[in-house]
């Protein structure tokens, strides 16, 4: 799919599908899941080389940030699928010249779905291609902040379930599902890993953009880049804090699981000790030797049963006195 945004005095406007403007009239071209024909059309219109999907997925910095044919080519990692509970990493490539912006993506993250409304609210701030790029970067950073807030809220819920709800659940006879908590923490850790990579990629784009597009950044755009950089630094610190909290909660959950397992083993150990003396008594009186006087004694059977009961009660009383139970 290809979308053309036309340059107008009051801000960019989305052209109807099928309308192809002249190169001088277009300010932003958005390629979503482009076909080979659509890529060639953009290359022919602007004289730029659109990177392939394989080229976008390369991880070395020289393949994600470079200059080609007078355009800055920048690839950023973003998170998508958060609302669907299936967060995945996606790459978006920005091709920027003084007059044109081309975005190439094979996903549909939320900032792109809502960006048309942002343009409509602030058309005066998005009249040039560099300004539109900065607005897109700001939207991506705001989305990262929103997702980090979601993660922080989920971790607060996990912390409450581990350290507070456990006592109430025991009073009600129910136990928290610790295995589900570990699974939830693992999912949040995976989401943080994607956000960490996104913050890193966006942080690398800004100095490259500031240096490569210095002559294009007019009308306060340099100040906007500095503001984005400050936001990225603060979000990076917040992400590191959440990562440490996940590690702590994971260890605490495993510790509770170990405590429950130890309690179960303790019950079996105490039961084995309690039944060991009665078993010993029953074993002795099960030998049936002729010289055993209790075999012909009238009260031999009740005496053996009583001995078994006493031999079980005495260890139980001793354990309670020592505080082992």
Q: Rounded CA gap, 259 and 250, in Å?
A: 14
Report helix, strand or coil for 296: coil
Question: DSSP state, 83?
Answer: T
Give the per-residue pLDDT at 202. Answer: 93
What pairs with residue 229 in β-bridges? Answer: none
The pair of three-digit structure tokens given for residue 320, joined into one six-digit string = 């309670």
Q: Which residues in the chain are classed under CATH 1.20.58.340?
A: 260-322
Burial of 317 (0-12, 13-18, 19+ CB in 10 A): exposed
> What is the full DSSP assignment across 218-236?
-SSHHHHHHHHHHHHHHHH
Give CATH superfamily name and number for 2-259: CorA soluble domain-like (3.30.460.20)
Q: Rounded CA gap, 119 and 226, in Å?
A: 21
Per-residue pLDDT tens over the stretch 36-75: 888 888 888 888 888 888 888 888 888 888 888 888 999 9
Give this prediction's pTM.
0.79
Q: Which residues in the chain are classed under CATH 3.30.460.20?
A: 2-259
- Mean pLDDT of all residues in 264-285: 77
| Closest listed residue to residue 249, CA positions, set 175, 180, 155 | 155
* pLDDT confidence tier of residue 173, bands split at 50, 70 and 90: low
Q: Is the predicted pLDDT of residue 193 greater than 90, yes or no?
A: yes
Name the CATH topology of 260-322: Methane Monooxygenase Hydroxylase; Chain G, domain 1 (1.20.58)
Give how far Cα 55 sits from Cα of 51, 63, 104, Å.
6, 7, 11
Per-residue pLDDT tens over the stretch 234-261: 999 999 999 999 999 888 888 888 877 7
Q: Is the predicted pLDDT of residue 299 greater than 60, yes or no?
A: yes
Q: Is the predicted pLDDT of residue 198 greater than 60, yes or no?
A: yes
Mean pLDDT for all residues in the chain? 84
Phi-psi region of 155 (alpha: psi -120 to 50; beta: other; left: phi over 0): alpha
């Amino acid at each position: 799919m290809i979308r053309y945004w036309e340059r107008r005095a009051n801000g960019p406007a989305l052209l109807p599908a099928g309308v192809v403007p002249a190169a001088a009239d277009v300010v932003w071209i958005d390629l979503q899941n482009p076909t080979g024909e659509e890529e060639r059309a953009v290359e022919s219109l602007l004289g730029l080389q659109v990177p392939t999907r394989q080229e976008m997925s390369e991880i070395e910095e020289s393949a994600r940030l470079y200059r080609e044919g007078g355009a800055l080519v920048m690839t950023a990692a973003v998170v998508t699928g958060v609302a669907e509970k299936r967060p995945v990493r996606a790459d978006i490539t920005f091709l920027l010249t003084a007059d044109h912006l081309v975005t190439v993506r094979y996903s549909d993250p939320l900032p792109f779905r809502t960006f048309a409304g942002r343009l409509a609210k602030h058309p005066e701030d998005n009249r040039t291609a560099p300004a539109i790029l900065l607005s897109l970067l700001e939207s991506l950073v705001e989305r990262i902040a929103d997702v980090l807030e979601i993660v922080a809220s989920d971790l607060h819920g996990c912390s409450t379930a581990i350290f507070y709800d456990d006592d109430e659940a025991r009073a009600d006879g129910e136990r928290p599902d610790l295995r589900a908590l570990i699974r939830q923490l693992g999912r949040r850790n995976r989401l943080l890993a994607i956000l960490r990579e996104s913050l890193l990629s966006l942080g690398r784009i800004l100095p490259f953009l500031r240096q490569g597009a210095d002559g294009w950044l007019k009308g306060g755009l340099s100040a906007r880049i500095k503001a984005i950089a400050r936001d990225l630094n603060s979000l990076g610190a917040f992400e590191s804090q959440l990562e440490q909290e996940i590690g702590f909660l994971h260890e605490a959950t495993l510790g509770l699981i170990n405590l429950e397992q130890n309690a179960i083993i303790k019950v079996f150990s105490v039961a084995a000790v309690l039944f060991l003396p009665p078993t010993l008594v029953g074993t002795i009186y099960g030998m049936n030797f002729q010289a055993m006087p209790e075999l012909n004694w009238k009260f031999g059977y009740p005496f053996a049963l009583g001995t078994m009961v006493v031999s079980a009660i005495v260890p139980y009383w001793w354990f309670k006195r020592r505080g082992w139970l």
